[in-house]
Structure 1
């Protein structure tokens, strides 16, 4: 079950545009990471322009106010799955949401079953509830 954090600059997108962007990312999590249906955990945070500082790391990329940072916390996806997610997100967000590929930064981090509690103070992956 991926946890997806989406950071963007405040006031650039409407609520409907943000919802569509989040929906597209969820569709990709289902398709490329084989996340189970109804396994949607997303946190969307909007920042003042001066609160997101992303240089181009020497790649010559031009950033705009459409910048999006996506952080995905997940368990056990392969290098190929991660590369497929990067490509699918870049392609679909550019096509459907107007996010230039130069304004997209994605980071995937691995965590383990013991790193999750979905409530009630229990680690449901470890207790067998999930």
Structure 2
């Protein structure tokens, strides 16, 4: 169960935000072997003074349209799967809602399967 947190500057339309959520979920199902309906996505919108980033870190030119995507997931994916996920996410988000690939920052937080409870106080993966 990936748990996705999306952070971006406040002021985007509901359609823009939906396109980001849908693109990330699609990339996860296509390249991360995430099953259908395994969808848990939170969106955090920030005012300008709450959204601090370096516009040129690693010589990548970022704008205020930067979207920071953090995915908590099981530690079971290969490096190739992770790279495919990064690439596919940037590709899908550049198509809809039209983000520049430079403005898509992704961070994975990997954890053991025993660290998840989907409800009822049970660790379903153990």
TM-score (norm 2): 0.91
2-structure distance, mates of 1:35, 1:61: 29
Query: Which residue of structure 2 aligns with residue 29 of structure 1?
Result: 28
Root-mean-square deviation (Å): 1.4
Query: Which residue of structure 2 aligns with residue 74 of structure 1?
Result: 73
Give the CA deviation at 1:125: 1.4
Q: Which deviates further from its counterpart, 25-34 or 48-57?
A: 48-57
Query: Which residue of structure 2 aligns with residue 10 of structure 1?
Result: 10
Give the CA deviation at 1:53: 1.3
Q: Which deviates further from its counterpart, 27-36 or 61-70?
A: 61-70
2:22 aligned with 1:20, yes or no?
no
Query: Which residue of structure 2 aligns with residue 83 of structure 1?
Result: 83
Give unmatched runs, 5+ long, in structure 1.
Answer: none
**Which deviations, in whole Å up to 9, do the C-alpha atoms of 1:34-54 show, x marking residues without a partner?**
111110011111011121211
5 Å-filtered alignment, 1:79-118, equals: 79-118=79-118
Give the CA deviation at 1:83: 0.5
Give the CA deviation at 1:88: 0.8
Instruction: Tell me the number of residue pairs that the alignment of Structure 1 and Structure 2 aligns.
Output: 125
**Which deviations, in whole Å up to 9, do the C-alpha atoms of 1:59-117 show, x marking residues without a partner?**
23332221100011111111000001111111111122111122111011211111111
Q: Is the 8 A contact 2:56 2:62 kept in 1?
A: no
Give unmatched runs, 5+ long, in structure 2.
Answer: none
2:38 aligned with 1:46, yes or no?
no
Moved over 3 A (4+): none
Give the CA deviation at 1:57: 6.1
2-structure distance, mates of 1:94, 1:44: 18
Q: Is the 8 A contact 2:27 2:89 kept in 1?
A: yes
* Partner-residue secondary structure (3-state), 1:64: coil
* Partner-residue secondary structure (3-state), 1:72: strand
